[in-house]
Structure 1
Amino acid sequence: MQHVKQLLKTNGISQRKLSEHLDLSPASVNLILNHDQYPKAPSKSIINEGISQFLAKHSIALDLLEPLTITDDYNDKENPMLLRKQTLTDAARKQFKLFINPFTSDIRSADELYQSNDTAYVRAAMHHTAKHGGFIAVTGESGAGKTTLKRDLIDRLKRENQSVITIEPYVLAAEDNDIKGKTLKAAHIAEAIFNALSPLEHIKRSPEARFRQVHNVLKESHKAGNSHVLIIEEAHSLPIPTLKHLKRFFELEDGYDKLLGIILIGQNELGLKLSEQNPAIREVVQRCEIVTLEPIAPAELSGYLAKRLSKQTSLDSIIDESGIDAMVSRLVRTDSKGRVVQSLLYPLAVGNLVTGAMNMAASLGVPTITRDIIMNV
């Protein structure tokens, strides 16, 4: 539609007059003319007819207007759309006065953590397991905030000076088979425990002696008043044999006292591996509680955005109510009865969408993010 923009400029007609004629916002008209991006309503054919009538009204030759093909691919979408990683442009930083993008940057302290009812429950479950023992698996989609909660747990234990030793085996190249990468085995977990509790002592070579040694250092540390928690990220990449061996780590005891709490953190595939329908892993399923980190509830989205902004600026200087409602429409799919079928209101997806919208608003000269901006990012 760049040719229409040029026709208006040549004839000294402002885009605002066209927007008034079409009964659309200036931002929507900007998107149509500059990017061929149409709003959800009215339909593209009605808008194109309105543009033709406007040009004819101002005696602009219609033969200069290229044929407008009608496609409503976006309006007919069946699934919510995710954006790639978005980086805030210099223009957007200046317009919204944000030197650091709060929506995509990592949380630096517990004060910045937004706690919905669901997040608070998962956070409490992780802390209870770390302090008092237990075996839980925290699952959720990519970008749901699982790693953030792990960092919050470790920071909380240090901040409150609690006698809990965290043990994190390295999973940099871990896969569930040795063809795609390297599997994390029980021997590697034993080494991680031993190195965390007795880093100056040499671990035994014999498997039987090594595991006895690990059990002994756990008991000695427990007698000194410490609790221990094993945290494994990317746990969806753990092979079935290692998951079964974790049950035996969990059963290490000193009298009635459990010596090791276990927190597995992984994507939803971890929940499938730990399904009660999988007979090969029934001994683990009966002992491991699955805690799922749910997406942000639509009613809590504005609270989440305001919390991420913290004290940098007010939420209404970034996005208006229509923009927030549009984010829900964009990332939540419902059925004909209004029930949620799929929600992608996860922190990472929300952050990328808001960042892309700020970039577009800045490029169009629109002061705040509106529904039109969100629906056309």
Structure 2
Amino acid sequence: MLNLKAALISVKRKQSDLARHLKVSGATVNLIINLDRWPKGLGGKELLQERIAKFLRANGADEATVAAAFNEAPDTSRANAMCPMAGCPAHSGPQAHSKTEDENMLLRKHTINRAARAHFKIPRDPFTGEMETEADVFLSDDIRYVRASMRQTAKHGGMLAVIAESGGGKSTLRHDLNEWINTSGEPITVIEPYVLGMASSERKGRPLKAEDITGAVIRAVSPGTSLRAATSQRSGQMHDILKASAQIGRKHVVIIEEAHDLATPTLKHLKRFYELQDGFKKLLAIILIGQTELELKLSERNPEVREVVQRCEMVKLPPLDNHVEAYLRHKFTRVDVDLDAVMAPDAIEEIRNRLQQAVTENTRGSRVVRSQSLCHPLAINNLVSAAMNEAVTIGAAKVTAGLISAVARAE
């Protein structure tokens, strides 16, 4: 690590301030400070050092500080212990660094730019617009189970809640389910009710209500049918339409995405939709897809929705912790690229280390800090894309752990 970091601190400036002055990315500044890696172009190392020195002087640094800024920091062992780079003690175990002003959870969208695609000889971005067929879906054992649960619910009935963090792959599995229905020949009608600006209350937006679901069912199962005006009549109309459709062999599944934004009254009404029958035959399957807040709403401790919870199976999409390499290898294989030609082996472990978050919980009056994984597909995609773009800037042949770390800290 260079003394430049301490020099910036001494003049009360951030690395992001220096990046803006140099007109480079924050990751480039991190690579300079932490690894003494200088980008190709931009006039070369000497010119960049002159510009950095000018920046330090303009912000009040004395000549001694400027002169020492590009030397190796004297206490490297201590600096490395505090620095989230590959192999550092802070990343030798499962506990990750807490978030600082130079770090976040990499949810900002990144795409692989044209220069990076040419540099790594990638014909197209493996993370953007890549889902074209069922074969494009990465399947771990956990994902395969959730996928099977969704298909079985659509085919045989029931109520299912699919829960994952933002970017965890929920929408991918919803598209996969629709693709499977369209290509398998299963006689299943998909109903996807939604309202613009859906929220859990009128104060926050527009709640999805039971009458919205009723209308969506009628329009999907019997297109062109005029909705009856009275709510009670419309419910009967929906029931009759579903029975007629079921009698000719059709099945029906209601899929509600962003279900964590469902209002409690609507959740309670789902019991009524679930119990619609023709004899012993259930007429509507229900799949709720939402973020982790949905799990809280469907808690058995919530008496308002207890009857729904008792009928609803819950499945979760966990992080890809132990499948990061397999996931990335699958993604790059789908665009005919060998992952080993793009990423160094140490980069995979650093991705896992970087996508961790310290979470503080209050348990029986005591505070407990635990590590929470954020190794979800979207976060991995964004981190790897940003690192590949930065590799071009510094002329790196592959994405390394150091590059992953520098990009993460610059976000």
TM-score band, normalised by shorter chain: 0.7 to 0.9
SS in 2 for 1:368: coil
SS at match of 1:65: helix
CA drift of 1:297 comes to 3.0
Q: 1:78 to 1:97 in 2, by over 3 A?
A: same
TM-superposed deviation, 1:206: 1.3
TM-score by length of 1: 0.80
In structure 1, distance between residues paired with 2:406 and 2:193? 43
Corresponding position: 1:149 with 2:173: yes
Relative to 1, partners in 2 of residues 1:74 and 1:265: Cα closer, same or farther, differing over 3 Å?
farther
Q: Which amino acid aligns with 2:189?
A: I
2:377 counterpart of 1:347 = yes
Distance 1:239 1:199 in 2: 27
Taking a change above 3 Å as real, the CA distance of residues 280 and 35 of structure 1, as seen in their structure-2 partners, is same
1:116-195 to 2 correspondences below 5 Å: 116-195=140-219
1:7: which partner in 2? none
Aligned to 1:65: 67
- Asked if 2 retains the 8 angstrom alpha-carbon contact of 1:229 and 1:260, the reply is yes
CA distance in 2, matches of 1:282, 1:155: 33
Q: Does structure 1 conserve the Cα–Cα contact (< 8 Å) formed by 2:387 and 2:399?
A: yes
What is aligned with 1:36?
Answer: 33
* Equivalence for 1:51: none
Per the TM alignment, residue 330 of structure 1 is displaced from its structure 2 partner at its CA by 1.2
Partner of 2:111: 87
For 1:179 and 1:150, the matched residues in 2 are separated by 29
Between the two proteins, the alignment pairs up a number of residues equal to 327
8 A contact 1:104–1:348 mirrored in 2 = no
Cα distance 1:311–1:334, how it changes in 2: closer, same or farther (>3 A)? same
Which residue of 1 is the match for residue 258 of structure 2? 234
Do the aligned partners of residues 67 and 135 (structure 1) sit closer, same or farther apart at CA in structure 2, a change above 3 Å counting?
same
The residue aligned with 1:101 is: 125
Residue 143 of structure 1 aligns to which amino acid in structure 2?
G
Q: CA deviation at 1:311?
A: 4.1
Q: In 2, Cα distance between the equivalents of 1:62 and 1:203? A: 80
Name the CA shift for 1:362/1:240 in 2 (closer, same or farther; >3 Å): same
The structure-2 alpha-carbon separation of the partners of 1:254 and 1:66, relative to structure 1 and needing over 3 Å to count, comes to same
Answer yes or no: is 1:301 the counterpart of 2:321. no
Structure 1: runs of 5+ lacking an equivalent: 5-29, 40-60
- Is the counterpart of residue 203 in structure 1 residue 189 in structure 2? no
C-alpha distance in 1, partners of 2:190/2:115?
43
Per-residue CA deviation, residues 18-75 of structure 1 (Å, 9 max, x unaligned), is xxxxxxxxxxxx9678643459xxxxxxxxxxxxxxxxxxxxx988614589988754
Aligned to 2:277: 253
TM-score by length of 2: 0.74
The amino acid of 2:294's aligned partner reads L
Match of 1:269 among 289, 293, 303: 293
SS of residue paired to 2:286? strand
- Which residue number corresponds to residue 365 of structure 1? 395
Q: Deviations over 1:307-326 (max 9, x none)?
A: 11114210101102111111
> Letter of the aligned partner of 2:355 in structure 1?
L
Residue 37 and residue 3 in structure 1: after superposition, are their counterparts in 2 closer, same or farther (change >3 A)? closer
**Would the alpha carbon gap of residues 246 and 119 (structure 1) be closer, same or farther in structure 2, given more than 3 Å must change?**
same
**Contact 1:104 1:352 (8 Å CA) reproduced:** no
Contact 1:81–1:331 (Cα < 8 Å) also in 2: no
Matched to 1:120, the amino acid is R
| Cα root mean square deviation, aligned | 2.8
Check 1:174–1:106 CA distance in 2 against 1; reply closer, same or farther (3 A cut).
Answer: farther
- Supply the AA of the counterpart residue of 2:396: V
In the alignment, residue 383 of structure 2 is paired with which amino acid? L
Maintained 8 Å contact 2:347/2:404: yes
Residue type matched to 1:327 in 2? I
- Structure 1 CA distance for aligned equivalents of residues 212 and 120 of structure 2: 48
Segments of 4+ moved more than 3 angstroms: 1-4, 30-35, 61-64, 66-76, 332-335
**What is the identity, as a one-letter code, of the residue corresponding to 1:82?**
M
Distance in 2 separating the partners of 1:363 and 1:244: 54
User: Which string of whole-angstrom CA distances, capped at 9 and with x for unpartnered residues, describes residues 71-99 of structure 1?
Assistant: 88754732584221112223212101224
Match of 2:24 in 1: none
Q: CA deviation at 1:148?
A: 0.3
Q: For 1:266, give the aligned amino acid.
A: G
- Could you tell me which runs of 5 or more consecutive residues in structure 2 were left unpaired when the two chains were aligned: 5-26, 37-62, 85-89, 91-96, 360-368
Q: In the alignment, does 2:98 pair up with 1:78?
A: yes
User: 1:104 Cα deviation (Å)?
Assistant: 3.9
**1:267-309: CA deviation from partner (whole Å, max 9, x where unpaired):** 00011000111111111111111111111132x2111101111
Offset, 1:334: 8.6
- Matching residue's letter, 1:78: S
Are the aligned partners of 1:31 and 1:37 in contact in 2 as well (CA < 8 Å)?
no
Match of 2:312 in 1: 288
Residue-by-residue CA offset, 1:226-271 (whole Å, 9 max, x unaligned): 1100000010111000000011000000000100000000100011
